[in-house]
Amino acid sequence: MIEATDSRSTLLYRSDTFRQKLLAANVTQVVVVVAPWPVFSEDLLNRCLIAAEHAGAKSAIVLNKSDLPESAAALERLAPYPALGYEVVPLSAMHDAAALEPRLAGHTSVLVGESGMGKSTIVNRLVPDARAATREVSRHLEAGRHTTTSARLYHLNADTHIVDAPGIQAFGLQHLDRHDLAHAFVEFRPLIGQCRFSDCRHLKEPDCAIARAVAARAISERRLRIYRRLLEEAERS
């Protein structure tokens, strides 16, 4: 018998025009797992980080399979993120995942990312009796295959928990309006409200504070392009 319900502290979910997909509730941290091979989608990485910011959860990035020769190129792609406050943790979960343990301590973390990045392998390394299903990644297809079909919570200790979520190939953000989207870019926040126009969308409006910051190289042009693409996508739907 259910006698009472508590409100959610956080809710991580994705959405498109037709539906929402809930990933995890009451998590304090989102850990986006990427790998040098199969080559990860930076678009998907940014969408996960944006959804986490909107949910009010901390974020970190794990570069799994860091023993592969392609890892140097992957680390170069991830180089801008620590300056935004997103720690990048390289590890090879097939051998050891201890480097991730300090980042997880005291948190309820959800592991998200594309199929084939090694999320379940990380869980098995951290929780030896988890027996999370894993599969080999196809070199021919250059893509992972779904093995985790539903989210599952594991307990590392009394204060530390991880959720292994199914692999995702798309992460819709239809539940974010333009104000939510701008605030989800952490480097934009100090400049919001400083544009000439109070309703500035940071697209082509004159005297946009964020565009000025990009011109001064205080904000990455690549991140502004990502924001504009996501806003235009939202406004088309």
Question: Of the residues 108, 136, 164, which one is the last residue of a structural domain?
Answer: 164
Please report whether residue 153 resides in a domain. yes
Please report whether residue 231 resides in a domain. yes
> The CATH number of the domain where 215 resides is what?
1.10.40.50
Question: Of the residues 164, 190, 218, which one is the last residue of a structural domain?
Answer: 164
Please report whether residue 143 resides in a domain. yes
Q: Are residues 122 and 44 in the same domain?
A: yes
Number of domains in the chain: 2
pLDDT given at position 234: 87
pLDDT given at position 236: 83
pLDDT given at position 143: 52
Question: Of the residues 141, 164, 187, which one is the last residue of a structural domain?
Answer: 164
Q: What's the 3-state SS for the chain? A: CCCCCCCCCCEEEEECCCCEEEEEECCCEEEEEECCCCCCCHHHHHHHHHHHHHHCCEEEEEECCCCCCCHHHHHHHHCCCHHHCCEEEECECCCECHHHHHHHCCCEEEEECCCCCCHHHHHHHHCCCCCCCCCCCECCCCECCCCCCCCEEEECCCCCEEEECCCCCCCCECCCCHHHHHHCCCCCHHHCCCCCCCCCCCCCCCCCHHHHHHHCCCCCHHHHHHHHHHHHHHHHC
Q: Are residues 125 and 216 in the same domain?
A: no
Q: Are residues 141 and 191 in the same domain?
A: no
Range of the domain at 76: 11-164
pLDDT tens, N- to C-terminus, the chain (237 residues): 999 998 999 999 999 888 999 999 999 999 999 999 999 999 999 999 999 999 999 999 999 999 999 999 999 999 999 999 999 999 999 999 999 999 999 999 999 999 999 999 999 999 988 776 665 555 544 554 545 667 999 999 999 999 999 999 999 999 999 999 999 999 999 999 999 999 999 999 999 999 999 999 999 999 999 999 999 998 887
Please report whether residue 86 resides in a domain. yes
pLDDT given at position 128: 85
